[in-house]
Structure 1
């Protein structure tokens, strides 16, 4: 391993030592060997520090923050400490398949653009089934906000980006940090802002290279429903969305957050927001209606039945390898 790694891997974690170790091992098991793994522990956490030390790999650096600042802050700290030309983010409850970095670095270096943002497909694993997301890649000339938000079916995941799939230049991560304090849509917010920077372009690896564990019985950020906060973020970020994308986000993401309240006033409020500030399509109205009409458990089962496939084990990791929101 050279003194300067080609790529830095940033893993934020807090009080989940088993998951942090699993994520770190999946990074260390990459076929691209010249890397460093920066685990940012979000506040004092002796159990996690001890578990990571037991891995015994000199490529791991552990940074313990003095107090909790949440995942966006931890990722920003990791990016500031990164030494590699490239930095890839990895959430502690996700895993990478072994060729993930090799494929993405190859795409980045062949892209011909100064600041490529390279994402990939992922295996979305629920307790019932696996599905691959995104189900489609961006069409030529398609506005990026519409790719991420406008559905072509009733279930999310047509266009998609998730933190653990993203590799970009370390300089870009520093120039466009994550928004501290934003609880949901952290990667969407980052991607929309980053892709407005000069010289950037979104590139996807067509194969799934990340295993996303959607354990619906475990507390995770994606299960929180701070809908008022998200509406405020959407309104403040209006310039990042086309009218079509604004309406699609309102009637899918915000609808999913508010539907458990069963408050008809909120149902109507979101319709008014989408119509007044955006340009909804027929499928957006249908999405809004089915989210409010069907219980989440039923929607989840239908999603897995229609777009899922039987669960299959991920590719094995080997440290000895040489150098769809509802």
Structure 2
């Protein structure tokens, strides 16, 4: 049996697909296959795949676009490996990624069913470097979350303290991925943590404390779409959310912060402020919040200036009205 099946779902990403596939083929373990699921691409993806004269690369093609979760599940169905490892087609792996994860599992008992690792974002340019440096300094004041185990990881994942990032970091036993039913095809967001929560019902996850995945920053759906998906995700785990919040986890407050940042980034500052008022904000979140606000201001400068002027005038008129009442009494 093949040791690892690497599953790469892709849709119209011919420009980045080669980098992803090559980073899988360049792993320091040889016993692997790369299952690339072309999810109905209309660009040059077919030509990119046809150029690989490599028996370890196995293309699977969807006639129409069916979504990333369906594509990952197709990959699980076609996997021949003992383990499956997921890689988004715009991300890339460190050459020793799979070797380090397999070593972490081999050092543990059989109830450890998978491993994940840390990631680094490709934040190019001076603004990206400044943002990363600020986040690193401020994160030192945070309490370190639990990153290994099963039950103890559930609360951390729900509270977004731990982000296993199943789409590009997770290595998990193939039989477990199939047993839990793969990725939930109803979800457009939060599918990665939701999949990991179901994996944790079958066994433990190990954490490799190294940045072995480089991820591209991608676009986000509209904030209202994220809000609806967030409500759906938390409602699926309502009992667990209540249980872990009773144990001290600030799950709903953390998700309010996630939504606040999306609204800030769209320039909808009042809606963002409404969500952030009961949010959980730690020092490590400050750079992200500031960045989101700055992005929103750059995106809608005229609307935000108009809002600021309106608020100033309303405040001034309110104060004038109060002063006038005092003087006439």
Please state which band the TM-score falls in when normalised by the shorter chain: 0.7 to 0.9
In structure 1, the partner of 2:205 is 202
Please state whether the residue corresponding to 2:81 is helix, strand or coil: coil
Name whichever of 136-145 and 250-259 sits farther off: 136-145
- Aligned pairs (5 A) from 1:1-326: 4-45=1-42, 47-128=44-125, 129=128, 131=132, 138=146, 143-148=152-157, 150=159, 159-162=162-165, 163-176=167-180, 177-195=182-200, 197-198=201-202, 200-214=203-217, 220=218, 222=220, 224-225=222-223, 226=225, 227-241=227-241, 242-243=244-245, 244-259=249-264, 260=266, 262=268, 264=270, 267-268=273-274, 283=282, 294-296=293-295
SS in 2 for 1:93: coil
Shift of residue 222, structure 1, vs aligned partner: 4.4
User: Structure 2 regions of 5+ residues with no counterpart?
Assistant: 299-329
**What is the aligned length?**
275
Which secondary structure does the structure 2 equivalent of 1:172 belong to?
helix
Q: Are the equivalent residues in 1 in contact too, given 2:261–2:292 (CA < 8 A)? A: no
SS at match of 2:2: coil
- Whether the aligned pair in 2 keeps the contact of 1:118 and 1:203 (CA below 8 Å) is yes
Q: TM-score w.r.t. structure 1 length?
A: 0.73
Report the aligned-residue RMSD.
Answer: 3.4
Whole-angstrom distance in 1 between the partners of 2:292 and 2:43 = 46
Bigger drift between 80-89 and 173-182 goes to 173-182
| CA apart distance, 1:16 | 1.2
- Name the TM-score, length of structure 2 as normaliser: 0.72
The structure carrying a bigger helix percent of its residues is 2
Larger gyration radius, structure 1 or structure 2: 2
User: Could you give the per-residue CA deviations for residues 65-87 of structure 1, whole angstroms, max 9, x where no partner exists?
Assistant: 12111111100110111010000
Deviation at 1:161, TM superposition (A): 2.0
Q: Identify the structure with bigger relative contact order (alpha carbons < 8 Å, sequence gap 6+).
A: 1
Q: Deviations over 1:52-97 (max 9, x none)?
A: 2212111011001121111111001101110100000000000011
CA distance in 2, matches of 1:161, 1:37: 21
